[in-house]
Structures are given as structure tokens and as C-alpha cells.
Amino acid sequence: MKTLIAWFDSEAVSETAHNGIAWLRIVPFIALHLACFCVIWVGYSHTALVVMLATYAIRMFAITGFYHRYFSHKTFKTHPWVETVFAFIGASSAQRGPLWWAAHHRKHHRYSDTEKDLHSPKHGFWQSHMAWFLNHRAFATDYSVIQDFAKRKTLRWLNRFDIVAPFTLAVVLFALGSILEVYAPGLGTNGPQLLVWGFVLSTVLLFHVTVSINSIAHVWGKRRYATQDDSRNNALLAMLTLGEGWHNNHHHYPNSVRQGFFWWELDITYLALRLMQSLRLAWDLKPVPVHVKQDRA
């Protein structure tokens, strides 16, 4: 029983774990990628595509708006229940718990593109893109840098058992597809198809697009500001990540809720947070000071 609990318990990993790929613990990650080939058997439907895009967009917003701009940088305030809901949605993306994610990101800003930055492209493309995520040493959550949010019992539990959220989403999608197959056959979908499209394909795409900010947005793009790292603004990544691609802007001034500093820099996450503000679900959105925008590289 203890072995089974340790498998699901992310805090069972020691912060003094050795360097190297944690092959046993990344079996689900490998299986998720291999499961993409199941699309050959489940086939295609417009319904499956819509569900895939929806689960991608909603979870991407949970990552960009909450894992990143809220938990990592505290650029706005929200209700505890909203915090919990989006922490769960973010965890369903299989990018581990909100405290783990935010702690690693805070360290990234502290040591950006130095030897202590686990996912700097200076260590090689694959290291920055995904090898760091699979390393023994990366599994532990350094609570010393996330003490503010670590006080929340719900977040601590969700961070500890982060596998619960993606498992729940997978079950819900399979059940939804099975129900639609019976009661709405005209939609042409079923349980296995929605599981593959809405969870497997969507999650793999979501992961690789998200970590591309580490591996690509520090190599390709434009530098408006002379930051002490190699961050770049990349318009294509900004579209795919709902605004995170304005990475040089963000590293220049990470305390703003907005990363597309100018009107022509589309930042969908910021617009969504503005909508939440109008609905009184978020407030105290931190702006970009005028003098910050005027700086140039």
C-alpha cells in the first residue's frame, strides 16, 4: 500500500534525489505520448476536434492565467474558490501541481539562463524543452520559494496528489463520449474517441506548446528590452499560448498581469482576466507602468 501511495504522491520524491531521468516515475508521461497513436483506431469527428480545442484552450488559460500570472507572480487577486477551481483545471493538464509549477518558475526568474536555470536552452534544446521535467531532481517541490501559497491546505493536497486532476478529466471525457454515443449518435463520437482527442492529444499538445516558452522563446524572436537573460518576444508562440509568447516583455517586467504590452500584441489571457474582473471574479490587476514600456534594448 505504501508503494502505491508513493506512486501517486509527488511529495514522496526527495529534494536530494540524484540527477538523471526518473524512468519509473515518467512511465505515465511516456504512455501518454504513445497513446496518441490510438487516434488511428478511434477515428475523427467534428465533435472530437471541438472537444480537443476546448480542453486545450481552457487548460492553457488555467496554466497561463493562474499557474503563471497568479501563483508564480501574484499579478492579481481572486476568491479562494476561484483559485481552487483553476488550480484543479491547471493540474488536469498533467504539468504537475500549482505549487510545484510556481516554485520552479520563480526559480527560473531568479536564475534565468544561468547554470542554476534547469531549463535554459544553454543546456541544450532537449534539456530545456523536456529533459529537465523528467529529471529526478525536478520532481520535488521547493516550498521555501512558494511559502505564501503553500499555506493553503487545498493547494498542498492538490500539489501532493496532482495525478488526481488529469485522471478525473480522462474519466469525465470517456463518460461524456459514451453518453453522447447513446443519446446523440448524430455527433459521431464515443467514449474512446473523446478520451483520445479531448485528453490524450490535447494534453500532449498543451505540454509541448507550454514548454516551448522555455526552449524556443529564449532562442528565436525579437528582443525589445535589454534583459539579463536571452528571452525573446515570439508572436507565433503568443498565439498558441494565449499571450505567453511576449516573453521578453515578461522578463523585463514580470510584475504585470499583462504580457502583451502594446495594443497590437494580442494577449488573450489578459483579456480573459479583464473579463473576470468585470464579473468580480478577479481584481487588483497589476498594470504595466508607462516608463517600463518606454525602455528599449
pLDDT at 240: 97
pLDDT at 179: 98
pLDDT at 8: 53
| Percentages of the chain per state (helix, strand, coil), in multiples of 5 | 60, 5, 35
Cα separation values, 189 from 94, 167, 204, 231, Å: 24, 20, 21, 42
List all residues 6 or more positions away from 45 whose beta carbon is below 8 Å from its beta carbon. 187, 188, 189, 193
Q: Report whether 138 contacts 118 (CB < 8 A).
A: yes
pTM score of the predicted model: 0.93
Residue positions counted in the chain = 297
Report the distance separating Cα 177 and Cα 183, nearest Å: 10
pLDDT at 1: 45
What is the per-residue pLDDT across 139-191, written as a single tens digit (0 to 9) for each?
A: 899 999 999 999 999 999 999 999 999 999 999 999 999 999 999 999 999 99
List all residues 6 or more positions away from 38 whose beta carbon is below 8 Å from its beta carbon. 192, 196, 200
pLDDT at 227: 92
List all residues 6 or more positions away from 297 whose beta carbon is below 8 Å from its beta carbon. 223, 224, 225, 226
Which residues does the chain have with pLDDT short of 50? 1-7, 14-16
